[in-house]
Amino acid sequence: MARIRFQFATLTLDAELLDTPTARAIAAALPISSLVLTWGEEVYFEMPVKAALEEGAKQVVPPGTVCFWTEGNSLALAWGRTPVSESDESRLVSRCNVLGAIDGDPRRLASVRSGDGITVSLE
């Protein structure tokens, strides 16, 4: 559907979005700037978008999945374990809408710290 770019202070990641109602709403709201928070091996940040939980929403996702946390109006990028993970899975705090996947190795997100700035734009 659309390609987006995550620009952190020291890292740039690109992602392919699926064609879902939430992904279309995210793309329409871009560009945005925000401050990121981390939760275990997950980066998340608020978006000026509200969305309902979609069919196919998941709590456990492959590393690098682009997700939208409907309860917090936030985009979430998990690359590894979170405080609620069991074994080595990427488990989000609750079910989230799956929007797509980042290109390349998601572990590059390990360099991002809480409070870092981010700009998200269409690629």
Q: Would you say 77 and 6 are in contact if contact means Cβ atoms under 8 Å apart?
A: yes
Tell me: pLDDT of 113 over 90. Answer: yes
Q: Extract the tokens encoding 91.
A: 């488990």
Domain that holds residue 69: 2-122
| CATH code for the domain of 9 | 2.40.100.20
pLDDT tens profile 58-79: 999 999 999 999 999 999 999 9
Distance CA 114, CA 123 (A): 24
* Residue range 10-15: mean pLDDT, rounded: 95
Number of domains observed in the structure of the chain: 1
**Mean pLDDT (whole number) for 27-40:** 97
Q: Is the pTM of this model over 0.85?
A: yes
What pLDDT is attached to residue 1?
A: 75
Residues 6+ apart with CB under 8 A from 110: 41, 79, 80
